[in-house]
Structure 1
């Protein structure tokens, strides 16, 4: 048996996911500081109260935050409360709610997902119209929400103008707009804009704002921008088993990220490491970058068989499309230049 005090040496940094990274030291310090004394439970604590003020600073005076345990819970809770029981969500076919949440929106939320194929993970008003029909037809699930991801599952970014066009079109059809923002910080860092510039200011109704992928131990938050968009959310959060009794420990982490600039510093670093990685591997014959590297993910196609050799020789990562040799490499707040340069060299050797 391996001694517990050596376990941290077993797994080197990988390029599998920003979820693989540990907890940012400043977040750990905030958790330790929040551990003293007693606080009221279920969100009636001083940390959660302060978090509301911080969120309003980022997203405007109407923003209200509902901390939850994880990203899937945030998405399901947000979408459930934005829809009637017979409602449906229009999303890209690559959306996390469609591909990586084990049908939780359908199984837990009872929500029909109306998916649209996209070339770059991004919806447009024209693509939305492929599924925005059948209103009033009792035989079809009724479209009620458009859900987009920023940054997308393939690492691309929506501009504020693109999101404004989506929200205007959706609202014109009577639809709400939800943003899966598990990597919203990376989008803001890449766009060099405050988060509200491509959410509140362009008409987004609700955000699932991520913490775990940017240095938190656990915890995300549903941020409601339009107070009328999520009736009963405080009750539904309890029904969905996403109401933490010791909520101060979720809120303290999110405060550590968003009260200052830790969220931005961490995202900027992860993005910079992805750019370094993308530039380095693109120069290797046989590697083809398949999507623009705009945030902290690099998508590339490798010759068949190379990915398996690379995982054996260097670091673990996931196939995106095994049939075509496309892979995904993610960078995190703790990815170093040395990590990147050594991995680039390993790619060259494997090829």
Structure 2
């Protein structure tokens, strides 16, 4: 069907700024077209959202329930509200997305306090959690009621199932609940080569944010409740937080496209492989230092500031810690070997100048 819309970008331009920069996977676009036409019940009463629940239970276990939302910040805010009271607090890594990149939404919208802990690799441990896990009866201090971890982390590192299990057991013993920010959960599952429930449901996670936009969806994520006895009022909180989609079938069918036939893992394995290719190549370049283990689809490196600034004019990417000269390069489901090789060649040219 013809359209009056026009293309306003050059589809040949590539970058390594974020997996959010990539477009939609063709199979996801096909799924959206499939779900179009005719009338379906609004606000999640449609056939696509109903079928999504079956898929979610296949991956996460028989008690799991998905609540599709618009975006990752919404998924995190709704999840954390479902675990805390108005006087509650959430313990997280200092580098956590909920602390650094969500505009204060967990604190301003969810009305909770974030209790942050510095970590060397983006990962919490029971010992690090205990730096903030105290004062439950102190009315002068926000009450620690939940722990939030990210898989894979904001630094591209991974938790093992045993590490997550230790965190969950530690938190539960202290009366706290556990949220997992899974904006890149597919990359973690692909890298660990394990069923996703092995490091979520089976490890004791109570609720998670399931990411799709960074893995080929046009828009949308899902809150997945794993322990319903620990989670409260999800339906009402999703609506209150402006995350209830009226035409929810168009979110749910994208999640179905990812989950039904392994597309989410195929895409994640590819982006992970491109990050490994990039890490191997830049690791051999004098003047470039890789600063964190490359375990998912991100490469964090340190190089001269002026080189980064010149390189950014040729390929988009972000500084991670600009004063320290640290940058982040992200690979996507549509990153090609040619993209990686061209970027490395450009990097070498700028270093030689």
Give the CA deviation at 1:36: 1.6
SS of corresponding position for 2:178: strand
For residues 295-310 of structure 1, what are the structure 2 equivalents within 5 Å?
Answer: 295-310=296-311
- Equivalent-residue separation in structure 1 for 2:180 and 2:105 (angstroms): 17
Aligned: 1:17 with 2:18: yes
Q: State the SS of the aligned residue for 2:163.
A: helix
What is the rounded CA distance, in whole Å, between the counterparts of 1:347 and 1:15 in structure 2?
12
SS in 2 for 1:78: helix
1:215 matched to 2:216: yes
* Deviation digits for residues 209-244 of structure 1 (CA, Å, limit 9, x no counterpart): 000000000000000000122211101111111000
1:62 corresponds in structure 2 to: 63
Counterpart of 1:197 in 2: which secondary structure? helix
Q: 1:175 deviation in Å?
A: 0.6
Partner of 1:35: 36
Quick one: structure 1 residues 102 and 280, their matched pair in 2 at CA, closer, same or farther if it must change by over 3 Å? Answer: same
Whole-angstrom CA distance in 2 between matches of 1:319 and 1:124? 27
Q: CA deviation at 1:137?
A: 0.5
Equivalent position of 1:108 in the other structure:
109
Task: Find the residue that maps to 1:202 and give its secondary structure.
Answer: coil
The equivalent of 1:315 in structure 2 is 315
CA RMSD after TM alignment: 1.0
Distance across 1 between alignment mates of 2:164 and 2:236:
30
Residue 350 (structure 1) aligns with: 350
Unaligned runs of 5+ in 1: none
Distance 1:41 1:113 in 2: 35
CA distance in 1 between partners of 2:299 and 2:276 (Å) = 8
Q: 1:304 deviation in Å?
A: 2.4
Q: Which residue of 2 aligns with 1:137?
A: 138
How far apart are residue 6 of structure 1 and its match? 4.6
1:81, distance to aligned residue in structure 2 (A):
1.1
Q: How does 1:1-351 map to 2 (within 5 A)?
A: 5-9=6-10, 12-312=13-313, 314-351=314-351
Q: Deviations over 1:186-226 (max 9, x none)?
A: 00000001110100011000010000000000000000000
- The range that moved more, 27-36 or 302-311, is 302-311
Q: By how many angstroms is 1:5 displaced?
A: 4.0
Aligned counterparts of 2:149 and 2:7: Cα–Cα separation in 1: 42
TM-score, normalised to structure 1, is 0.98
Q: Aligned pair count?
A: 348
SS in 2 for 1:300: strand
Report the secondary structure of 1:305's partner residue.
helix
| TM-score w.r.t. length of structure 2 | 0.97
Structure 1 residue 7, shift from structure 2 partner: 2.5
More displaced 10-residue stretch of structure 1: 228-237 or 33-42: 228-237
Paired with 1:145 and 1:349, the residues of 2 have a C-alpha distance of 48
Compared CA separation, residues 11 and 105, structure 1 to 2 (3 A): farther
Structure 2 SS opposite 1:114: strand
Looking at structure 2, the residues matched to 30 and 8 of structure 1 have their Cα atoms a distance apart, in angstroms, of 24
Distance 1:222 1:117 in 2: 26
Equivalents in 1 of 2:145, 2:12: separation in Å?
Answer: 44
Tell me the secondary structure at the aligned position of residue 18 of structure 1: coil
1 CA distance for matches of 2:75 and 2:321?
27
Displacement of 1:105: 0.3
1:4 Cα offset (Å): 6.2
Asked whether the equivalents of residues 206 and 231 of structure 2 are also in contact (C-alpha less than 8 Å), the reply is: no
What is the distance in 2 between the residues matched to 1:84 and 1:155? 31
SS in 1 for 2:202: helix
Deviations 1:46-87, CA, capped at 9 Å, x for gaps = 000000000000000000110000000000000001101110
